């Protein structure tokens, strides 16, 4: 291992060997259980256990999948759900050491009470209830010891894998390296809790309202490995709530994400049910701002145009954005054929309700269209899509009848911005007002 300024980390080969060892031992154990005990080879609880043993990157993947019973099945989603806040916690002595080394003194000098058992434990950190010396009830988020080395090693392995994929002829149109760099920035950003506290304050200033609660940070009790914030009393009990009749709160959540994506350009990219709570009073609580991204004005404008076009069935608008954001467009591209293909794509993916629409399926099909036409796609929307997929899983479970298209159209028309000017080489069929190619949203 060597030091890189972020802590000690594995060389990629050692991390690969560790992953291979975990997979091999797990396969042997599960194979024995399947052969001798007649158990399923990979029951859902065993899958969650495997991801936990593999480390923070894999736990994060499990958290995302836990919000998608439509993709992995209800039983697996329930089993993976424990990875949101019930990962095996660190021993108390490690937690105490991190808090005292970060805040620069004995824990008792800063806190009157500090619960040894965490309220929740996730992939890179765990949260403890505490009371400050002044009597303020707080939640203290503590980074896991040595988590950096695994996460940074995983990112380096993923970069290497993307470089290999980028060399495969049939996959060269995929922006593997560029997309990986975006996700690498997002993933490694969660290792700095001082940064998270600053980002949390920005989110609170931009989004907090009577309907949206973002706990205030306590800067004097925060640092690079500790983030202290106010504790919302109802939060812990609401995390495990199974209430489905919460469409008003779901609407608040959806509109808040739209504001992040299309107005502020400051986006929470990890809105699973451990970080986004739909409360019984139809408000929402948002926590854990370690995974976030920023969208510049041009990206927001283009994404807004594409999203509105998709919701309204405007294939011409979507086609313009596909061309405008492409890293490379072939000289012999037949724009009318591309427009017709995107029109059929929109027809295959109705946006009437949350239950009807699948963000991941739509993106996969759109990418297939781009490859078929020789268009090298851009990673501009990658992190925005990640946030949508995460929230979509929550909404499908908690408010499947929510009118996806109507909500997005209302919001986007209210916050409409000037369109990106059409480029001169776009044919007439791809310009605004191309009514023969419009698709009804009914």
Domain extents for the chain?
A: 2-84, 294-437
What is the structure's pLDDT at 279?
85
Q: Provide mean pLDDT across the span 206-211.
A: 88
Asked if the model's pLDDT at residue 238 lies above 60, the reply is no
Structure tokens at 82: 């424990």
User: Averaging pLDDT over each range in 204-218, 273-287, 395-409, which range is the top one?
Assistant: 204-218
What is the structure's pLDDT at 36?
65
What is the structure's pLDDT at 318?
93
What is the structure's pLDDT at 131?
96
340, 438 Cβ separation under 8 angstroms: no
Q: Provide mean pLDDT across the span 179-194.
A: 80
- Virtual torsion, Cα 167, 170, 174, 180, nearest 10 deg: -40
Q: Is 403 helix (H, G, I), strand (E, B) or coil?
A: coil
What is the structure's pLDDT at 441?
33
What is the structure's pLDDT at 235?
60
Query: Which single residue is written with the structure tokens 């983030």?
Result: 227
Asked if the model's pLDDT at residue 96 lies above 70, the reply is yes
Burial class (CB in 10 A: 0-12, 13-18, 19+), 290: buried
What is the structure's pLDDT at 429?
39
What is the structure's pLDDT at 420?
43
**Banded model confidence at residue 203, pLDDT cuts 50, 70, 90:** very high
Strands (E), 104-155: 111-114, 120-121, 125-132, 137-143
What is the structure's pLDDT at 92?
95
Asked if the model's pLDDT at residue 327 lies above 60, the reply is yes
Q: Provide mean pLDDT across the span 370-384.
A: 81
What is the structure's pLDDT at 35?
59
Within a 10 A sphere around the Cβ of 30, how many other Cβ atoms?
Answer: 19
Q: Determine the Cα angle at 18 with ends 102 and 390, to 5°.
A: 65
Distance CA 198, CA 191 (A): 13
Q: For strand 212-213 and strand 226-230, is the pairing parallel, antiparallel, or unpaired?
A: unpaired
Asked if the model's pLDDT at residue 426 lies above 50, the reply is no
What is the structure's pLDDT at 260?
93
State the sign of the Cα–Cα–Cα–Cα dihedral 247, 251, 252, 257. Answer: positive
Best CA proximity match to 15, nearest among 191, 156, 177, 172: 156
Burial class (CB in 10 A: 0-12, 13-18, 19+), 418: exposed
Q: Determine the Cα angle at 387 with ends 189 and 225, to 5°.
A: 25
Mean pLDDT lowest among 248-252, 302-306, 307-311, 383-387:
383-387
Q: Provide mean pLDDT across the span 176-185.
A: 75
Q: Provide mean pLDDT across the span 81-85.
A: 79
Asked if the model's pLDDT at residue 56 lies above 50, the reply is yes
CA dist list (Å): 406 to 202, 206, 401, 415: 29, 24, 12, 14
Mean of the per-residue pLDDT values of the chain: 81
Distance CA 80, CA 207 (A): 29
Q: Provide mean pLDDT across the span 299-327.
A: 90
Distance CA 259, CA 411 (A): 8
What is the structure's pLDDT at 178?
75
**Banded model confidence at residue 437, pLDDT cuts 50, 70, 90:** very low
Q: Provide mean pLDDT across the span 209-227.
A: 93
Distance CA 348, CA 359 (A): 12
The pLDDT > 90 percentage for the chain reads: 29
Mean pLDDT lowest among 128-137, 219-228, 256-265, 407-416:
407-416
**Banded model confidence at residue 328, pLDDT cuts 50, 70, 90:** confident
**Banded model confidence at residue 40, pLDDT cuts 50, 70, 90:** low
How many C-alpha atoms does 437 have within 13 Å on its Cβ side?
Answer: 28
What is the structure's pLDDT at 245?
66
The pLDDT > 70 percentage for the chain reads: 85
CA dist list (Å): 327 to 36, 106, 159, 175: 54, 54, 20, 8
**Banded model confidence at residue 436, pLDDT cuts 50, 70, 90:** very low
User: Averaging pLDDT over each range in 30-39, 109-118, 150-159, which range is the top one?
Assistant: 109-118
Radius of gyration of the chain (CA): 23
Asked if the model's pLDDT at residue 442 lies above 50, the reply is no
Mean pLDDT lowest among 111-125, 164-178, 190-204:
164-178
What is the structure's pLDDT at 4?
42
- Virtual torsion, Cα 227, 233, 239, 242, nearest 10 deg: -170
């Amino acid at each position: 291992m060597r030091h890189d300024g972020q802590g000690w980390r594995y060389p990629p080969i050692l991390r690969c060997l560790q992953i291979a060892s975990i997979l091999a031992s797990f396969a042997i154990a599960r194979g024995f259980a399947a052969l001798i005990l007649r158990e399923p080879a990979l029951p859902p609880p065993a899958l969650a256990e495997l991801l936990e043993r593999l480390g923070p990157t894999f736990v994060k993947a499990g958290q995302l999948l836990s919000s998608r019973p439509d993709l992995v099945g209800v039983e697996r989603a329930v089993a993976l759900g424990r990875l949101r806040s019930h990962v095996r916690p660190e021993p108390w002595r490690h937690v105490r050491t991190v808090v005292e080394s970060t805040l620069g003194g004995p824990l008792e000098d800063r806190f009157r009470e500090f619960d040894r058992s965490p309220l929740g434990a996730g992939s890179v950190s765990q949260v403890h209830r505490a009371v400050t010396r002044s009597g303020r009830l707080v939640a203290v988020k503590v980074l896991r010891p040595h988590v950096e080395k695994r996460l940074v090693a995983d990112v380096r392995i993923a970069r290497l894998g993307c470089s290999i994929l980028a060399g495969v002829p049939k996959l060269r149109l995929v922006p593997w390296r560029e997309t990986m760099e975006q996700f690498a920035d997002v993933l490694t950003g969660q290792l700095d809790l001082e940064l998270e506290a600053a980002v949390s304050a920005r989110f609170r200033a931009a989004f907090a309202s009577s309907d949206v609660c973002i706990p205030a940070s306590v800067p004097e009790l925060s640092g690079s490995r500790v983030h202290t914030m106010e504790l919302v009393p109802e939060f812990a009990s609401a995390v495990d709530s199974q209430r489905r009749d919460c469409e008003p709160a779901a609407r608040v959540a959806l509109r808040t994400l739209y504001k992040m994506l299309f107005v502020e350009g400051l986006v929470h990219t990890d809105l699973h049910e451990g970080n986004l709570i739909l409360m019984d009073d139809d408000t929402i609580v948002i926590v854990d701002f370690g995974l976030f991204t920023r969208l510049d004005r041009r990206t927001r404008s283009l994404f807004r145009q594409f999203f509105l076009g998709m919701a309204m069935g405007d294939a011409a608008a979507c086609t313009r954005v596909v061309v405008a954001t492409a890293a490379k467009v072939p000289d012999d591209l037949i724009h009318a054929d591309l427009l017709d293909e995107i029109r059929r794509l929109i027809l295959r993916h109705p946006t009437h309700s949350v239950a009807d629409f699948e963000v991941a399926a739509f993106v996969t099909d759109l990418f297939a269209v781009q490859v078929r036409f020789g268009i090298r796609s851009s990673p501009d929307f990658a992190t925005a899509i990640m946030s949508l997929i995460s929230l979509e899983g929550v909404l499908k479970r908690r408010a499947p009848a929510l009118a996806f298209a109507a909500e997005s159209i209302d919001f986007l028309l209210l916050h409409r911005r000037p369109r990106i000017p059409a480029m001169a080489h776009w044919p007439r069929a791809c310009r605004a007002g191309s009514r023969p190619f419009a698709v009804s949203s009914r």
